[in-house]
Amino acid sequence: MVEADQLTKTYPDLQVGKFVALDHVSFSVGEGEIFGLLGPNGAGKTTALRILSTVLQPTEGSARVNGFDVVTHPDEVRHSIGFVSNNTAIYERMTAWEMVEYFGRLYGLAPDHLEARMHEVFEQLQMMDIRDVAGGRMSTGMQQKVNIARAIVHDPPVLVFDEASIGLDVLVARALLDIISGLRDEGKCIIFSTHIMREVERLCDRVGILHRGKMLAYGTLSELAEQRGEDDFEELFFRLLKESDQNEVAEISSDRKSAVTTVSLWGKP
Amino acid sequence: MNWKHVQLIFQREMTDQLRDRRTLFTITVLPLLLYPFLGMLMMQVAQFKNDSSVRVQVVGLEHWPSDQPLLDAEGDLVVEPGMERVAKLIDFESIPWNTNLNPLAADREAGDDDISAVESRARNAVTLDQADLVLIVQPDFSQRLKERLRGSVGESDSPAAGASDVAAAQSAELDDGLQVVANLARDRSQIARKRLETVLESWQRNWASSYLEEAGVSPGVFRPLALNATDLAPASVKRAMLWSKVLPFVMLIWALTGAFYPAIDLCAGEKERGTLETLLSSPARRREIVWGKLGAICLFSIGSALLNLLSMHLTAGMIVKQLASQGTPQLAEALGPMPFHALGWLVLLLLPMAAFFSALALAVAALARSTKEGQYYLMPLLLVTLPLVALPLMPSLELNLGTSLVPVSGAIFLVRSLIEGRYIEALVHLPVVLLVTATCCWFSVRWAIRQFESESVMFRESGRWNIRIWVHHLWRDREDTASPAEAVLCGVIIIVSMFFAQFLAGSSIDSWAAIAKSTFVVQVGLILTPCLLMAIFLTRSFTRALRLHKPQPSHLVAAIMLGLCMHPSYMLLSSGIQQVYQIGEETQLVLQHFQSMVTAQPLWAVLLLMAVLPAICEELAFRGFIFGGLLRQHGVLRAIIISALFFGFTHTVLQQSISASVMGLVLGFIAWRTGGVICTMLVHAINNALSLSMAWFGANSVDLPVALDWALTHQDGAYVYNPTWTTASMVLSIGLLFIISRRSSETRRFAQTELA
């Protein structure tokens, strides 16, 4: 359902020249599966998910969503995906109903179908009591529910949740995970990015661990535990990150040494 | 383009803005309240200013001529009929020369009836705010006036001579015995002086008339001529002229302001609140989002301007009525009411201008990361657009081909003509104004769409800026050609340095040596050096940065022929521009002097300095470094237009700048299709060489071979092209440009690398 192949994204950067936000990352997610994209802040999770939702374009590599290429067929991709991020907010001066209706119409749903679908979604997410509340008057949890309703109103086969539980209290976060779990049961392909281990353990069928734009590990939780000989997923996560950092330091110092060698060789022809 | 998306976004933005109390207040409530409030304030202030009396002390009124008193028996000022209102607004206080009155009594001493003592007391009175003005009538005022007049009349033999003496006495009377003491830094003193002068002028006229009558001369001798003017302009048209200047200015300023605030909220505000990313991930494409938002912004801009106009219209009507009832019917007649048909024409002007301003505001607002940052962009936007809106306010500027070509101003001039009823003139210039306005709108909308399509604009993150890191970045991350920003910087450096060099040079260029020196300094020092230095330090490949790409042979041949064939068109264009924008006499004299100095030199030297050198330096800078930088990221149109504008700006005379800019567009096209500057150097050098040679041959009366008679004619000491050759050369030029536009596969591949 979702395939990312050698996805790379670089940005011009004043400090380092070219900042590699995503470095040849590959993964795939199937129907009725929740794929957890895990990593600390700045790992490249949001960049990867923005590329999948066609908000950004990859510098290299390709990605397909529901069989459509994100660069060549962005319109089809957008119709196939629902994108919820901690960066995507709701309109303060629109009610929950108006907002979901607006996006439903943008997705091209026929008025009758849209009405029925909205009732279905509002009931599913238990939002009927807030349907006429303006976005500016809602709590964070309510806002996130509206955001999810907005993302699923057109019943997309793929759903992307980018750190969607950030800022939510325990109860609302739990409700959110239940909703996502329910959506998986409906056969949706879900990509769920987070840096909270417990959410991953509870929800994800497979995970990919991203750090500094690189995919450090990829597989089911049990596969990863077996490969690394570590049952505690949180420990495994920290070990991977530590190893990656140590490797990088070693690479840099080796580069410096070779540079020094080159200079001395030039000095002694 | 899915117009349903556009409509949905437009509707949502409209609903959203209409629910925002701040926007509603700024756009709708404020204009409706502002003008009535300002009008009321103005009327009250004016009333207060007009109705409050000023205090004038007159010291020594007893010295005033008794046969022509200043005050009547009741102590009121004696003035001509119609001046009573002014007279009533002066509180006269007469202080006899020798009477003890405060503050004169305070330091009164024996024998202090001399002028300096009185003057010192008058100063005190003004300083202590006991009077706004003191008029001192000296003891011998009356006597001196009479003696002088009597002497003058006695000496003269004819009534006419007597009259001239009366006039002389009249002009000197204030110096002969009257003195005014006032503090003119204060408004009240200034008003007092004006009113006093009005009253004294009235007295003067009465006084002069009585003496002239005594001498048997008619007082009408002072006004031997009376012009009976027949004004064909109806009062409504005259009123229209006044309003046609003020209204477009006010309306367009509000249109810009009305566009800017919603643009900030719908763009930077949405970025800040995170709702923009929600929309960007929806099925709506970027251009659909821009059109939807643009529609809403445009409607707010129009609404804001119209409400201001309406409010101003109503307020002006009320003020005019008030003025008429307050006894100033002339002013009321001159002002209004505001002609209603003017409003219709203004609405017509408003529609394209609102679209233009809205697109500009949206593009600028897209740059901002937050509403606060967006506010900072209002001032630069105003600074760019204000001169265009204010230009039509300048006196003696009217609608013509020249002004109709100026964006915004041209449209205002057109509407002014329509308001003033000059329909034929407006109709003639309508196509040009429409074309310019449509082009501006197209470019601004295109810019806004590009802003929304740019990831670096939409997802710009704030980072700490450090000069050391930035300089390091410039060196470390340099590429084969300049970046667009570096290209623009190079152009700006050239223009600014030339601007200052022009001031430094002043008018010292009065010899061939000075011309040679200044041309060399400008071309090598100010145009070539910045681009060479930037190419060395900011790019990795010197030859790529300066676009020293070897052209294909067919392009070389076509370029040489194009240089020869395009020159008649260039000359035609230059003379056409000079007819539209006439060169001032002074500039013409300077240019003639310059040409006479140049044509007195050997032709080879002139061509080397003024044809070959500029062709090399200017092409390397404008079609080389600057063009190459702007070409990146698929900016072909951007490179052609901006490099042409920079090229035009380096020519100091406006008319030359315009023709050079047009020429720059053609050279830009050649530079793009040939992939380098060699061909443009040839075209440029040949074009300059032909202009200089024709002037040189004409000035030195050199007969050209008979074989060239089919192309050139000698007229009034100059060579000009035959119309037949001019027409034929135009056709040939188009054909040659077509040849140049055809590229070999190698040139095409190279062009692709330049666009990356």
* Measured torsion, CA atoms of residues B395, B357, B268, B300, in degrees rounded to the nearest 10: 110
* Tokens 């400090």, residue located: A15
Task: Show Cβ contacts of residue B135 under 8 Å, excluding neighbours closer than 6 positions.
Answer: B56, B57, B58, B59, B178, B179, B180, B181, B196
**Mean pLDDT of the B621-645 span:** 91
Percent of chain B past pLDDT 90, that is, above it, reads: 21
| Cβ-nearest to B275 among A55, A57, A90 | A90
User: How many whole angstroms separate alpha carbon A205 and alpha carbon A198?
Assistant: 13
Structure tokens at B490: 């190079």
Do the Cβ atoms of B20 and A93 come within 8 Å?
yes
Do the Cβ atoms of A85 and B465 come within 8 Å?
no
Helices and strands of chain B, counted as H and E runs: 35, 6
pLDDT band of B167, cuts 50, 70, 90: very low
Mutation target among A93, A114, A143, A154 for the B interface, most CBs of B within 10 A: A93
The minimum CA-CA distance between A92 and chain B, rounded to whole Å, is: 9
pLDDT tens string A79-96 = 999 988 876 678 888 999
Query: Which is more confidently placed, B81 or A69?
Result: A69
The minimum CA-CA distance between B23 and chain A, rounded to whole Å, is: 13
Task: Show Cβ contacts of residue B712 under 8 Å, excluding neighbours closer than 6 positions.
Answer: B694, B704, B719, B720, B721, B722, B725
Q: Which of A208, A237, A202 is nearest to A220 (CA)?
A: A208
| Cβ-nearest to B282 among A11, A56, A106 | A106
Q: Which residues of B touch A147 (CB under 8 A)?
A: 278
pLDDT for B185:
84
pLDDT for B289:
93
CB distance from B456 to chain A under 8 Å?
Answer: yes
Q: Which residues of A touch B285 (CB under 8 A)?
A: 75
∠ CA B748-B668-B725, nearest 5°, is 110
The minimum CA-CA distance between B708 and chain A, rounded to whole Å, is: 59
Q: Which residues of A touch B281 (CB under 8 A)?
A: 53-55, 78, 81, 83, 88
Mutation target among A88, A97, A166 for the B interface, most CBs of B within 10 A: A88
H/E stretch holding B566:
helix B553-580
Cα separation values, A54 from A50, A69, A78, B505, Å: 6, 10, 7, 57
Per-residue pLDDT at B622 exceeds 90: yes
User: How many whole angstroms separate alpha carbon B625 and alpha carbon A88?
Assistant: 42
Do the Cβ atoms of B469 and A15 come within 8 Å?
yes
pLDDT tens string B337-346 = 666 677 778 8
H/E stretch holding A60:
strand A60-65
Do the Cβ atoms of B281 and A150 come within 8 Å?
no
Q: Which residues of A touch B20 (CB under 8 A)?
A: 93
β-partners of residue A192 are: A36, A161
H/E stretch holding A7:
strand A2-13
Complex ipTM: 0.86
In angstroms and rounded to an integer, the radius of gyration of the C-alpha atoms of chain A is 21
CATH 1.10.3720.10 fits A2-229, yes or no: no
How does the average pLDDT of chain A come out, rounded? 83
Mutation target among B271, B278, B465 for the A interface, most CBs of A within 10 A: B278
pLDDT tens string A10-26 = 887 777 778 888 889 89
**Amino acid occupying residue A144:** Q
The minimum CA-CA distance between B269 and chain A, rounded to whole Å, is: 11
- DSSP notation for B296-328: HHHHHHHHHHHHHHHHHHHHHHHHHHHHHHTT-
| Cβ-nearest to A55 among B15, B281, B470 | B281
Do the Cβ atoms of A89 and B278 come within 8 Å?
yes
CB distance from B459 to chain A under 8 Å?
Answer: yes
Residue of A nearest to B469 (CA): A15
Residue of B nearest to A147 (CA): B278
Do the Cβ atoms of B277 and A90 come within 8 Å?
no
pLDDT tens string B261-276 = 888 888 888 888 888 8
Q: Which residues of A touch B469 (CB under 8 A)?
A: 14-15
CB distance from B19 to chain A under 8 Å?
Answer: yes
Do the Cβ atoms of B8 and A150 come within 8 Å?
no
The minimum CA-CA distance between A233 and chain B, rounded to whole Å, is: 33
Do the Cβ atoms of B473 and A107 come within 8 Å?
no
Do the Cβ atoms of B277 and A75 come within 8 Å?
no
Exposure string of B610-629, with b = 16+ CB inside 10 Å and e = fewer, is bbebbbbbbbbbbbbbbbbb
Residue of A nearest to B452 (CA): A55
Structure tokens at B241: 């002229």
**Mean pLDDT of the A144-148 span:** 87
Please give the interface size between A and B, counted as residue pairs whose CB atoms are below 8 Å apart: 72
| Cβ-nearest to A93 among B16, B277, B456 | B16
Task: Mean pLDDT check: name the lowest of A146-150, B45-49, B294-298, B417-421.
Answer: B45-49
- Quick one: chain B helix, strand, coil %, rounded to 5? 75, 5, 25
Mutation target among B282, B288, B473, B477 for the A interface, most CBs of A within 10 A: B282
**Mean pLDDT of the B235-242 span:** 66
Per-residue pLDDT at B211 exceeds 70: yes
**Mean pLDDT of the B234-250 span:** 72
∠ CA B386-B388-B390, nearest 5°, is 65
The minimum CA-CA distance between B338 and chain A, rounded to whole Å, is: 40
Q: Which residues of A touch B271 (CB under 8 A)?
A: none
* Measured torsion, CA atoms of residues B276, B282, B285, B291, in degrees rounded to the nearest 10: -50
Decide: B60 and B81 in contact? Cβ < 8 Å: no
End-to-end CA distance of chain B, in Å? 27
User: How many whole angstroms separate alpha carbon B671 and alpha carbon B641?
Assistant: 12
pLDDT for B276:
85
Do the Cβ atoms of B284 and A89 come within 8 Å?
no
Q: Which residues of B touch A87 (CB under 8 A)?
A: 274, 277
**Mean pLDDT of the B469-498 span:** 88
pLDDT for B171:
43
pLDDT for B240:
64
User: How many whole angstroms separate alpha carbon B697 and alpha carbon B681?
Assistant: 24
CB distance from B15 to chain A under 8 Å?
Answer: yes
- Quick one: chain A helix, strand, coil %, rounded to 5? 45, 25, 30
pLDDT for A42:
82
Work out whether strand A189-194 and strand A34-38 pair parallel, antiparallel, or are unpaired: parallel
∠ CA B736-B738-B741, nearest 5°, is 115
pLDDT tens string B675-727 = 899 999 999 999 999 999 998 988 888 888 887 888 888 877 778 888 888 99
| Cβ-nearest to A83 among B20, B274, B281 | B281
CB distance from B75 to chain A under 8 Å?
Answer: no
* Measured torsion, CA atoms of residues A187, A193, A199, A201, in degrees rounded to the nearest 10: 70
pLDDT for B532:
93
CB distance from B284 to chain A under 8 Å?
Answer: yes
Per-residue pLDDT at B104 exceeds 70: no
> Mutual orientation of helices A96-106 and B3-18 as an angle, nearest 10°?
160
CB distance from B282 to chain A under 8 Å?
Answer: yes
CB distance from B473 to chain A under 8 Å?
Answer: yes
Residue of A nearest to B471 (CA): A14
Q: Which residues of A touch B5 (CB under 8 A)?
A: 106
User: How many whole angstroms separate alpha carbon B226 and alpha carbon B251?
Assistant: 42
User: How many whole angstroms separate alpha carbon B415 and alpha carbon B429?
Assistant: 11
Residue of B nearest to A106 (CA): B5
The minimum CA-CA distance between B289 and chain A, rounded to whole Å, is: 11
pLDDT tens string B173-202 = 445 678 889 888 888 888 889 888 888 888
User: How many whole angstroms separate alpha carbon B535 and alpha carbon B543?
Assistant: 9
Do the Cβ atoms of A105 and B8 come within 8 Å?
yes
Q: Hey, where are the domains in chain B?
A: 3-45+233-458, 52-222, 483-755
User: How many whole angstroms separate alpha carbon B367 and alpha carbon B393?
Assistant: 32
| Cβ-nearest to A55 among B277, B456, B463 | B277
Handedness of CA B461, B466, B468, B474 (dihedral sign): positive
**Mean pLDDT of the B581-606 span:** 85
Percent of chain A past pLDDT 90, that is, above it, reads: 13
